[in-house]
Amino acid sequence: MAYTLKEAVAPGAVTQLAPPQSTYGSDILTVKNLSKIFGPKPERAAALLKQGMGRNEVLEQTGNMVAVNNVSLSVRAGEIFVIMGLSGSGKSTLVRLLNRLIEPTSGQVILEGRDIAPMSTLELREVRRKKMAMVFQSFALLPNRTVLDNIAYGLEVAGIPKAERYEVARKVLVRVGLGSYEKFLPSELSGGMQQRVGLARALAVNPSVLLMDEAFSALDPLIRSEMQNELLRLQKEEQRTIVFISHDIEEAIKIGGRIGIMKDGSLIQVGTPAELIQSPADDYVRDFFRNVDISRFLKASSMLSPAGRALLNCTLASPASSQLNRLIDSGAECGYVCDDTGRYLGCVTPASLHQAGDAAVAEALLADVRTVTLDADLNQLAAIALEQEHDVPVLDGSGKLAGVVSCRNILKQVMERRQS
């Protein structure tokens, strides 16, 4: 049966469980200058931080632990935002600040346009139950309740009538592939299955944002990979917004649309895997990617340079000789012939134009120059560079010349990967 979780929430429940309303791609969760300092004198620690003192020094001098330090970020509706960092870098604290399981020392958390700081305990409880469901590493299931009851429980505390909550729970259970396990106790399930129940329980309330703290870390690799695929499917089919904490770079790359890297309580860089790989803010970020085969993340779109003066705007019927001087003057080894809309027609060299003489430019086109699209990766580019001596023209979706990737750049990138 094909249905989405939005449909899975029974009509009566919809009024109580407001479904995610933010438009895809808009900011749904915004964090501004958020800090958490544990210890006796957070104000003093904050003042020392402002003066530029490091986290360890602050700890030594004041006994305060700066767990999260002035973090600002925005999560967009429908994305999986991964927070990565070494142990102790503040990931769990940050995610608990998002739903105020931990009170911030300073800063703001704005969910769907509403600041959660001034909310009453009651309102906050509502937010946690309905808007920001959390999936924990330890599953946190009720041991004496069946799988179905565990899922329904979250809806029960949200005040959903019994018939409705069991209907929703059953549908969500099917959704995570455990339709026939509703009567089992958590202890009768494998770790992976228990985590699916944890996921189903969070999804049942149709939250605006799903918070997942190392949710797959306790699972063995095969099950873990399955769960990652499951999550990607949910995100794709239902535009789920997910904040996912991980310290595994492979996992972060696989599921993260964007990744935020935390170090000593600070968020030091946010970007897509490709952005972080190409322009890491420092060695800490670079080190995360050191043992990863990143060729597949390096795309032609980020390696190209403009054709510049090598661009020859003319028709294929114009005489080759009319373009020869232009190309020689440009100093380029190749010219890229494009029509007046920018559509790529082919590649020429001074030699091929010279040879064609007064014949049409069409006669001067090189037969063996392969082009790629913007999303070609380094592996594909390297394979082409092995076979052709000319740089590689890159075309956009409508066949226009977006730029050129030089063989030299391809070689450089391949060499850099080898060294790392």
Q: Per the structure block, which two tokens stand in for 113? A: 């346009």
Q: Which residue stretch of 82-90, 144-152, 166-174, 408-416 sits at the interface with ligand ATP (rule: CB under 6 A)?
A: 82-90
Q: Please, what is the minimum distance in Å from the beta carbon of residue 95 to Mg ion?
A: 8
H helix and E strand count, the chain? 18, 16
Q: Per the structure block, which two tokens stand in for 191? A: 């770790």
Cβ nearer to Mg ion, comparing 92 with 323: 92
Q: Please, what is the minimum distance in Å from the beta carbon of residue 94 to Mg ion?
A: 9
Write each residue from 223 to 262 as x if it is in contact with ligand ATP (CB under 6 A), else as -, in one continuous string: ------------------------x---------------
Q: Does residue 36 contact residue 108 with C-beta atoms inside 8 Å?
A: no
Q: Per the structure block, which two tokens stand in for 200? A: 């189903």
Q: Please, what is the minimum distance in Å from the beta carbon of residue 100 to ligand ATP?
A: 14
Cβ nearer to ligand ATP, comparing 247 with 417: 247
Cβ nearer to ligand ATP, comparing 215 with 314: 215
Cβ nearer to ligand ATP, comparing 38 with 284: 38
Residue 89 touches Mg ion, criterion: CB under 5 A: no
Contact with ligand ATP (CB under 6 A) among 41, 53, 88, 295? 88
Enclosing H/E stretch for 345: strand 344-348
Q: How many residues bind ligand ATP (CB under 6 A)?
A: 12
Strands 80-85 and 258-263: parallel
Tell me the backbone φ, ψ of residue 42, rounded to 5 degrees.
-60, -35
Contacts 24+ apart (CB under 8 A), 188-194: 189/147, 190/223, 191/139, 191/218, 191/219, 191/220, 191/223, 192/219, 192/220, 192/223, 192/224, 192/226, 192/227, 194/139, 194/141
Residue 65 touches ligand ATP, criterion: CB under 6 A: yes
Contact with Mg ion (CB under 5 A) among 92, 208, 241, 371? 92
Which residues contact residue 389 at a Cβ distance below 8 angstroms, ignoring those fewer than 6 apart?
A: 407
76 interface partner picked from Mg ion, ligand ATP, none, CB below 5 to 8 A per type: none
Give me the residues that bind Mg ion (CB under 5 A), please.
Answer: 92
